[in-house]
Chains A and B, each alone.
Chain A
Amino acid sequence: MNDAIISVRDLHKWYSGVHALKGVTLAFKRGEALGLVGDNGAGKSTLINILSGVHRADQGEIQVEGRPVSIATPRDAMDLGIETIYQYNSMVPTMSIARNLFIGREPTRFSVLGVGILDQKKMAEESIRAIANVDLHLRSPDALVGELSGGQRQGVAIARAMHFKSKVMILDEPTNHLSVKETNKVIGFVRGLKEQGVTGVFISHNMHHVFDCCDRIVAMARGEVVLDKRIEDTSIEEVHGVL
């Protein structure tokens, strides 16, 4: 477990009497693309929500880079370098790409009590660079996100996570509602994460997408991990079998 960037031990979560996570122990290895699969209600969303600060575990321990941490809010998770891209877009459609890239982390020229004047020049420059870095071709950072296609939005979300040097990127069903072409693009993004040294956690219903871009596959069912293997040691049939 030496090269684990995040490791969780004996994680439990109850939702009003339902035992949603039953003692999950798992290590996410640095630079690895991990596919997390499972049926609805298998506990994968619960696990992800705990790691991204949306919910808190009722019991168990989380370590990031070997240190025990407490993740109480989405902000805590981001500060630890854990960025989550949700299946609903984590973008505000009525705002520009540049504004979206910096939501909640806007560069300011000076500030009092956390409120300050935006450094718009820096935002424009850095967003152009951030978008170019993930190989997205958009002419202007001032375009509204609402005008982008689903795949482009996921691309901007990934660019945002990259820009803030996240160490772990959790992608929750990023290929839902996307066309084949756009799906391939997103899968390309996930493959690209490894080159940048970012750990990817890819959650999907679609086994083909997971097998297309991940190194390791973890399957969950009824709140427990039921399979944890390298891609080359397993097959879509085996994973389906345990679910």
Chain B
Amino acid sequence: MKRLFKTYLEKPELAGLILLVLLVVLFQVRSHGVFLNADNLRGILGILPEAGLVAIGVTILMISGEFDLSVGSVFALMPMTMAVLMVHGAPFQLALLAGLLVSAAIGFINGYVTIRFAIPSFITTLGMLFMARSLTVVVSGGFPPLLPVDLPNWLFTSFVGPGNMFRMSFLWFVAVAVLTSLMLSRTNFGNWIKATGGFMPAAAAMGIPTARVKIICFMLCSVLSGFAGMLQVLRLGSPLPSIGEGMELQAVASAVIGGASLLGGIGTVMGGIIGTTLIRVIDNGLVLSHVDANWFKFAIGFLTIFAVVANAWMRKRAKAIKMEG
């Protein structure tokens, strides 16, 4: 019993999960039952995958001990690359491939520069935030290109499932979440990510290629952000060069609310998803409860601080429960 209690207190995503349940109940009551009805849930689930995929990438990167501020810009650059290529006659598949390669390249540059010159990834990716955003506007020529009409929306944005509850993007999101979650908890590579972020000198001394591990995490984060940007563009039907602005900080907030540590080594994919869901729920719930929507950012900010404090407290409590014998 004590052991079980301790195990759960040590779960980094616990604080976020409790908050999520409390808020869902609160909003359900305040909105007189509208919050959990099918139409509203469909709305939330329709846009959750976009922020969620970015948060998964950012969370994994944070566990490896690094940081990415450029995700919002990659979120815009990837679909813009695709749109420009398609305007020039490239088929969708080729454009998709090119977009993903551009995202991966940006992740590689972020990682390589950070490690090669031993500078904080905060700086590298802050620079990349501006550069990638600028590139997005430059390649678009200032006007969002027109997307072709024959896009495979059935594969990415169409509604599916019982009562058309989900968009296809949600299935992609679930698939990525399951795969990355398994990667982190069940594979040796996941072990290397946690070791690299947890205490790099020890990881390196045990023969883990820490530089390669980090660069792969940077690339994964960028590719997921680019893919998420494409989902949003397909949903909106137009590649606006301004999408994803401010997303990097929301993604960090998601990861942190979900229990990831800024210092690395601690966190879960599930935590990042819970954090994102929490932010989406607040965004939606405030409106449904007739609260001035400008309180949204206040709530996110407060929640971020609160979740970290709660997590630190729970971890301390867990540590205090001695299990030696």
Complex CA distance for A95 and B197, rounded to whole angstroms? 11
Among residues 86 to 133 in chain A, which have CB atoms less than 8 Å away from a CB atom of chain B?
Answer: 86, 88-95, 99, 102-106, 108, 111, 114-118, 120
Task: Map CB proximity to A onto B199-220 as digits: 1 under 8 Å, 0 otherwise.
Answer: 1011111111000000000000
In the bound complex, do residue B323 and residue A92 qualify as a contact, i.e. CB atoms below 8 Å apart? no
In the complex, what residue of chain A is closest to B196 when comparing beta carbons?
A92
Complex CA distance for A95 and B198, rounded to whole angstroms? 8
Which of A137-145, A208-216, A219-227 is the interface stretch? A137-145
In the bound complex, do residue B199 and residue A91 qualify as a contact, i.e. CB atoms below 8 Å apart? yes
Does B189 count as interface, using CB distance less than 8 angstroms? yes
In the complex, what residue of chain B is closest to A102 when comparing beta carbons?
B191
Residues of A in contact (CB 8 Å), total: 37
- Counting contact residues on chain B (CB < 8 A from A), the size range is 20 to 34
Does B192 count as interface, using CB distance less than 8 angstroms? yes
Whether A115 touches B207, Cβ cut-off 8 Å, given contacts A90-B202, A91-B199, A137-B325, is no
In the bound complex, do residue A147 and residue B207 qualify as a contact, i.e. CB atoms below 8 Å apart? no
Complex CA distance for A200 and B115, rounded to whole angstroms? 35
Interface of A, helix, strand, loop or mixed by DSSP: loop
Chain A residues lying within 8 Å of B198, measured Cβ to Cβ, are 92-95
In the bound complex, do residue B202 and residue A138 qualify as a contact, i.e. CB atoms below 8 Å apart? no
Whether A91 touches B265, Cβ cut-off 8 Å, given contacts A104-B192, A117-B186, A139-B325, is no
Complex CA distance for A111 and B191, rounded to whole angstroms? 14
Complex CA distance for A75 and B195, rounded to whole angstroms? 16
Return A95 CB to nearest CB of chain B, in Å.
6
Does B133 count as interface, using CB distance less than 8 angstroms? no
Chain A residues lying within 8 Å of B325, measured Cβ to Cβ, are 137, 139
Does B167 count as interface, using CB distance less than 8 angstroms? no
In the bound complex, do residue A104 and residue B208 qualify as a contact, i.e. CB atoms below 8 Å apart? yes
In the bound complex, do residue B207 and residue A74 qualify as a contact, i.e. CB atoms below 8 Å apart? yes
Does B187 count as interface, using CB distance less than 8 angstroms? yes
A-B pairs with beta carbons under 8 Å apart, 9 shown? A78-B207, A91-B202, A95-B194, A104-B208, A105-B207, A115-B187, A139-B325, A140-B3, A144-B10
B contact set with A: CB distance below 8 Å? 3, 10, 186-192, 194-195, 198-199, 201-208, 261, 265-266, 319, 323-325
A contact set with B: CB distance below 8 Å? 52, 54, 73-75, 78, 84, 86, 88-95, 99, 102-106, 108, 111, 114-118, 120, 137-140, 143-144, 147
